[in-house]
Amino acid sequence: MPLLTRPFEAGLTGWIVVVGAVLAELIGGAVTNHMATPVVLTVLGIPVVVVLAFAVVQWWQVRSSSIEPSNWWHFGGIAAALLAWFLWPTRPGVLDGTGNAVSACQALAANAAPTCLPRAARAIDNHDIAWWAAFGLILLMALLVRRSRIAAWAAVPVAFAGVELATHFMEQLLLYFNAGG
């Protein structure tokens, strides 16, 4: 039997991979929150790629081995991920409640700056893309749950990566205009 179809080995591997990815996301997000976007994408992206790879491999191994499907309670991982995705604040302080570039520039008191509107629009667009992409990946993990227990719980670090990346884009806007850009 393949490694990720054996109960103990699969459980231990899944636990190590998912907990490691959650820790990597939380620590990586805290360390890189003021760094350049390519650095943040790399630091937050690598754990997601690793955990998704394990989830897909387990799904493939279970599917090809005709092992019985996972219990329905594994959807708790998807629920936890959706809860984290929805409740995590992604707009720092003064930008909370701003939904468009004009309101963001007004909140930053930078509406006279000629670069504010394009920067704010780009930050909000990137924020929305990161936030909704995380939601899409969580839903994708939900489709794999019955054949991959790792996929169920892999949604949690995916949610953290998405909300931390979305927060990063808004923090970059805030930092730029607070630094006098």
Residue with tokens 């992206």: 45
pLDDT at 180: 55
Question: Cα Rg for the chain, rounded, in angstroms?
Answer: 19
Q: What is the pLDDT of residue 84?
A: 96
Residues in the chain, pLDDT under 50: none
Q: How far apart are CA 5 and CA 65, in angstroms?
A: 8
State the pLDDT at residue 166. 95
Q: Which residue has the tokens 């990346």?
A: 165
Looking at residue 135, its pLDDT comes to 98
Task: For residue 31, give every residue at least 6 positions away whose Cβ sits within 8 Å of its Cβ, in sequence order, or none.
Answer: 43
What are the DSSP calls for 35-82, one per residue? S-HHHHHHHHHHHHHHHHHHHHHHHHHHHHHTPPPPPGGGHHHHHHHH
Q: In angstroms, rounded to a whole number, what is the distance separating the alpha carbons of residues 174 and 171?
A: 5
Task: Give me the long-range contacts of 100-108 (CB less than 8 A, separation at least 24).
Answer: 100/124, 104/173, 108/173, 108/174, 108/177, 108/178
Domain that holds residue 168: 3-178
Provide the sign of the torsion angle of the four alpha carbons 12, 17, 18, 22, taken in this order: positive
Separation of alpha carbons 120 and 116, rounded Å: 6
pLDDT on residue 179: 59
- Phi, psi dihedral angles at 109 (to 5 degrees): 55, 35
Looking at residue 176, its pLDDT comes to 85
Total number of domains in the chain: 1
User: Is the pTM of the predicted complex or chain greater than 0.85?
Assistant: yes
Residue 101 makes CB contacts below 8 A (sequence gap 6+) with: 116, 117, 118, 120, 121, 124
